[in-house]
């Protein structure tokens, strides 16, 4: 059985990051591979960064660590980005890079040659729905991104990512694929979710915003909630639901009356669990580029009506996901075909996760 090292942002604080990591792992396992996520830390001169993570609200961090220990196969050793052990690449047959914003240069503490597996031979380097999380690459970062030329196979998560790869490398073989979380069924995700202990509401609107929310938008949310007899649960409220981990995040989406968010993965799981959602643009400087992944998602699944414009109404409670299943199956087949070719797998070994 071929051993695969997963290179992704190793995080103990971001829902989408942990859930996509689990999804990548499960997709690879379904292909009869032996995947392992490589625990990694930014730079050798800052070995305290793991300790810094412990300062995150303790209850929340415990839930993330619990999710990791129960669901993610992790490497025994921790790799520091600028201190890769000699011949480390020999431990794995391949390295899968992605998903999440592994190639976002704005994450200076994480963006390094390790993000491109430059320590490994070209034939071992493959990206699986890797994301840039940006709309363009500044000239002063080109040297790092030239590592894209050295990869065996490249797939990205957003249309704009394909344009970036083409612009830097001239490569025409980059393909846009699903976020890995959409490779697993609702039943599979339900098997790892947990009900938050603090959840008492029987009918609620889930609010999850990583960017700022204006006073006007908050008033609109409260107004719609009152009209529909709903509580409003803010998952980032440090006095209540902030201690939720990835498993609890899944439960809150699956059972929400409506999901209101600017988060890509909140949209993804709303689709997976057949829940109504409304996506808000991020307007802050430096965050607008994040909208590209949402645009790709909505375009791919014909869900342009899920964008918040001026108000929230009853029409936003409709799911309109009738065409999702057929589109999703075709997109899942593209992922399997890509991985089959990139990992040199025989067709008879393939099994798509149910």
The confidence band for 18, taking pLDDT boundaries of 50, 70 and 90, is very high
| Residue of 285 and 338 predicted with greater confidence | 338
Helix, strand, or coil (residue 3): strand
Closest to 300 (Cα-Cα) out of 320, 323, 319: 323
| Residue of 286 and 326 predicted with greater confidence | 326
CB of 165 closer than 8 Å to CB of 98:
no
> Who contacts 17 (Cβ-Cβ below 8 Å, separation ≥6)?
8, 9, 11, 100
DSSP 290: G
User: Which helix H or strand E contains 19, and what residues bound it?
Assistant: helix 15-30
Q: Which of the four CATH numbers 3.40.1130, 3.40.1350, 3.40.50, 1.20.950 does domain 3-184+328-349 have?
A: 3.40.50
Residue with tokens 């430096």: 286
CA–CA dist 336, 310 (Å, integer): 40
- Structure tokens given for 199: 């959840």
34-41, strands of its sheet edge to edge: 74-80, 34-41, 3-7, 94-97, 125-127
Average pLDDT (261-266) is 95
User: What tens digit of pLDDT does each residue of 50-101 get?
Assistant: 555 455 567 898 999 999 999 999 999 999 988 899 999 999 999 999 888 9
212: alpha, beta or left, given left = phi > 0 and alpha = psi -120 to 50? beta
CB of 124 closer than 8 Å to CB of 94:
yes
Of the given ranges (35-39, 40-44, 57-61, 206-210), which has the lowest mean pLDDT?
Answer: 40-44
CA–CA dist 113, 153 (Å, integer): 17
- Structure tokens given for 216: 């006007």
**CB count in 10 Å sphere of residue 247:** 22
Residue ranges of alpha helices (H) inside 228-260 are: 246-254
**CB count in 10 Å sphere of residue 52:** 9
Q: What is the pTM of this model?
A: 0.92
Confidence (pLDDT) at 289? 54
CA–CA dist 112, 249 (Å, integer): 30
Q: 188-317 has which CATH code?
A: 3.40.50
274: alpha, beta or left, given left = phi > 0 and alpha = psi -120 to 50? left
Confidence (pLDDT) at 55? 53
CA–CA dist 236, 214 (Å, integer): 16
User: What tens digit of pLDDT does each residue of 279-305 get?
Assistant: 998 866 555 555 678 888 999 899 989
The confidence band for 320, taking pLDDT boundaries of 50, 70 and 90, is confident
The answer, yes or no, to whether residue 47 has pLDDT greater than 80, is: no
Average pLDDT (264-289) is 84
Average pLDDT (178-188) is 97
In the chain, where are the structural domains located? 3-184+328-349, 188-317
Of the given ranges (46-55, 138-147, 278-287, 333-342), which has the lowest mean pLDDT?
Answer: 46-55
Strands 277-279 and 258-261: parallel
Confidence (pLDDT) at 274? 95
The answer, yes or no, to whether residue 322 has pLDDT greater than 50, is: yes
Helix, strand, or coil (residue 316): helix
Confidence (pLDDT) at 350? 47
**What percentage of the chain reaches a pLDDT higher than 90?**
74
Confidence (pLDDT) at 348? 45
User: What tens digit of pLDDT does each residue of 224-256 get?
Assistant: 999 999 999 999 998 889 999 999 999 999 999
CA–CA dist 244, 219 (Å, integer): 25
**CB count in 10 Å sphere of residue 200:** 8
- Structure tokens given for 319: 């799911």
| Residue of 48 and 235 predicted with greater confidence | 235
- 3-184+328-349 with 188-317: one CATH topology? yes
Average pLDDT (198-219) is 95
């Amino acid at each position: 059985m071929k051993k695969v090292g997963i290179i992704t942002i190793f995080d103990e604080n971001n829902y989408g990051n942990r859930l996509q990591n689990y999804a990548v792992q499960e997709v690879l396992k379904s292909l009869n591979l032996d995947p392992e996520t490589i625990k990694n830390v930014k730079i050798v001169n800052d070995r305290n960064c793991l300790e810094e993570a412990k300062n995150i609200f303790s209850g929340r961090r415990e839930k993330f660590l619990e999710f990791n220990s129960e669901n993610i196969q992790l490497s025994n050793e921790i790799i520091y980005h600028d201190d890769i052990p000699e011949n480390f690449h020999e431990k794995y047959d391949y390295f899968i890079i992605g998903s999440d914003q592994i190639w976002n240069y704005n994450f200076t503490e994480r963006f390094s040659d390790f993000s491109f597996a430059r320590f490994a031979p070209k034939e071992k380097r493959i990206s699986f729905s890797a994301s840039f999380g940006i709309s363009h690459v500044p000239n002063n970062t080109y040297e790092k991104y030239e590592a894209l030329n050295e990869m065996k196979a490249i797939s990205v998560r957003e249309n704009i990512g394909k344009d970036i790869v083409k612009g830097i490398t001239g490569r025409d073989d980059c393909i846009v694929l699903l976020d890995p979380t959409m490779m697993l069924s609702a039943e599979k995700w339900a098997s790892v979710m947990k009900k938050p202990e603090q959840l008492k509401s029987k009918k609620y609107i889930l609010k999850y915003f990583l960017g700022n929310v204006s006073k006007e938008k908050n008033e609109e949310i409260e107004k719609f909630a009152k009209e529909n007899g709903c509580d409003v649960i803010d998952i980032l409220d440090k006095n209540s639901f902030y201690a939720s981990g990835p498993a609890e995040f899944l439960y809150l989406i699956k059972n929400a009356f409506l999901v209101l968010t600017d988060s890509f993965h909140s949209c993804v799981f709303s689709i997976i669990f057949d829940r109504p959602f409304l996506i808000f643009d991020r307007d802050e400087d430096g965050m607008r580029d994040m909208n590209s992944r949402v645009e790709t998602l909505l375009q791919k699944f014909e869900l342009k009506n899920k964008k918040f414009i001026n108000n929230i109404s009853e029409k936003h409670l409709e799911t309109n996901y009738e065409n999702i299943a057929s589109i999703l199956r075709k997109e899942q087949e593209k992922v399997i075909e890509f991985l089959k070719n990139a990992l040199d797998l025989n067709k008879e070994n393939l099994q798509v996760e149910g």
